[in-house]
Amino acid sequence: MQTDSSFTFVLFGGTGDLSMRKILPALYEAHRAGGMLADSGKIVAVARHVADRADYLEWVNEHVKPHVSKNGVDETAWASFLDRIEFVKIDLGKAEDFALLRDALSGRPGIRVFYLATGPSLFVPICRALASVGLNENSRIVLEKPLGYDLKSSNAINDAVGEIFAEEQIYRIDHYLGKEPVQNLLALRFGNVLFEPLWRREWVESIQITIAEELGVEARGDFYDNTGALRDMVQNHLLQLLSIVAMEPPHSMDSDSVRDEKLRVLRALKPIDPRDIGKVAVRGQYHSGVIRGSAVPAYATEPGVKPDSTTETFVAVKVEIENWRWAGVPFFLRTGKRLADRVAEIVVNFRAVPHSALGASALRGGANRLVIRLQPNETIRLYCLAKQPGEGMNLASVHLDLAFDRFFREGQMEAYQRLLLDVINGRLALFVRRDEQEAAWRWVEPILDEWAASHKPPKPYAAGTWGPAAASAMLAQHDTCWLEEEN
C-alpha cells in the first residue's frame, strides 16, 4: 500500500475528539510504518480554539499520544510526524477566513484531501466556502456520519455538496468497512471455492450482526438524544455490514463493481409493513445498572439528555432480503449502549445436518457456524463438531482460527489508517456511494416514522445486560438465540 503521491491533508475540526482519537493516530501509524505516505505529504489542521502552530502541536502532544501505538510511541517517528503538521486558524462560520486556507495551500503539489471531522450542520457551509476560494478542484472531500437526520435531510446535504464536488470526489466514510476481518470476509468468500456453494439459503439458517458497546453516551448526550441508535448505527454501519455479507460476487474489486453489488442488496431489503414493526423491531433504553463492578446511571440522567427522553439506545431488528440467494433467511441486526460487553461480530449459522447417525448433538442448530469478530479482537473462527477423546461417539464443538499473526508478520492495519490511505490514493471501493445511502435511509424511515407516531416509550433494560428481553423473544420465534445466550 505504498504511495509516492504527494498530498495535502486538510483536517477540519482539528482539535476535536475524532481527530485526536482516530484520524491523527491513524496518520501517525502510516507515517511510522514508512513508505505509506509520500515524504512531501503535509497535514494542515484547521481550528479556532488554539492560537498558532506551536499551541496546536502542544495540543496534539497532549491529546493524540495516548491513542497511538499499543507498544508505545517511537519518539523519532513522532518528531518527524509533527514536522508534517501545519496549522491554520479559521472560524468556520466566517467564509472570508477561507482565503487564509487558500493562501496556505497555494502552490502545493499533489491532491488535496479535505476531511470534515465536524458536525453535519457544517458540511455544506464548509464546502461552499471552499468553492468560493477555488479549492474544490483537484481535491477530495471526506464526510463523516451522520449524513442527515432522515432521507430528506440527507438528500439536501448530498445535493448541496454534489453541486460543488463530483461524486467521485466525495468519500462518505464508514470505518467498519475498513476493518481487517471485513476485508478478510471478502477474501474468504470470493477467493475460495469452499464457501460459495454454502453461502445461500439452502445451507444458511440465519445470520446475526451485532455492534455492542459498554459505554453510554459519554459527552455526546445532546447529539445522541436527537439521533438514537437506529440513525446512529443501523442506517449506516449495520446495513453496510449486511450488504458486504450478502452481496453477490463483484465483477472486480474496483470501486463501482463492489458498490453496485452492495446497492443490489440494499434495494432487495424487504420493506417493513408499519403494522409489523412491533414484531420485527425492538427498541430499548438503558436504565441504571452495573458494568464490570461499577454502577452506571440511567440514560435519562446523562448530561445533555432530556429527563423524559424516548430516544432508543438499543435496537434489534429482523431483516429479510428478497432475492434468490437469501429468500427466507432472517438477518438479525443488533446494537446498543451500556450492554454487557464491547463486541462487534458477524455470526453465520449454518443449518444442522438433516439426519445424523452420531446422535442428537449433531443435529444442533449452531454446531456449524462462522464467527467474524470485528472488535475487540479481530478474528475469524469456523466452528464445527468433532469427536471427544475417549470411549463412545461423543461430539463437542471445536473451532478453526484464522490467526493473522501466525501467517503474516506485519501487524493488522487499523480501519481509519486503511481508509485514509484509500482517500489519499483515490480508492473509493470502501466508501459509501450516494445511492447506497439513499437506499438505506429509505428502508429505515418506516421504522422511524412508526416509532415517532406511536408515542410508545422504548423498552427498559438494565445497564450491563444484553438489552430488552423482547430482543431474545424475537429470535425465539425463529427457534434460535443470540450467540452469547447459547454459550
387 is in an annotated binding site: no
Q: 70 labelled as ligand-binding?
A: no
Name the region of 472 (left: φ>0; alpha: ψ -120 to 50; beta: rest): alpha
Does 399 carry a binding-site annotation? no
Q: Is 83 annotated as a binding residue?
A: no
Instruction: Tell me if 175 is assigned to a ligand binding site.
Output: yes
179 is in an annotated binding site: yes
Distances from the Cα of 481 to the Cα of 178, 470, 475, angstroms: 28, 12, 5
Q: Is 174 known to sit in a ligand binding site?
A: no
Cα-Cα end-to-end distance for the chain: 39
- Residue 222, marked binder: no
145 is in an annotated binding site: yes
Q: How many CB atoms lie within 10 A of CB 276?
A: 12
Beta bridge partners, 383, equal: 369, 399
Q: Which of 237, 287, 455, 478 is catalytic?
A: 237
Q: What are the cell numbers at 131? A: 468553492
Gap between the Cα atoms of 483 and 31, Å rounded: 39
Note if 251 is an active site residue: no
- Sheet with 395-402: list strands edge to edge: 395-402, 379-387, 369-375, 343-350, 204-212, 331-336, 314-319, 281-287, 459-462
Residues in the chain: 487
The residues that are catalytic are 237
Binding site, by residue number, is: 48, 91-92, 145, 175, 179, 213, 232, 337
Binding site for substrate, by residue number, is: 175, 179, 213, 232, 337
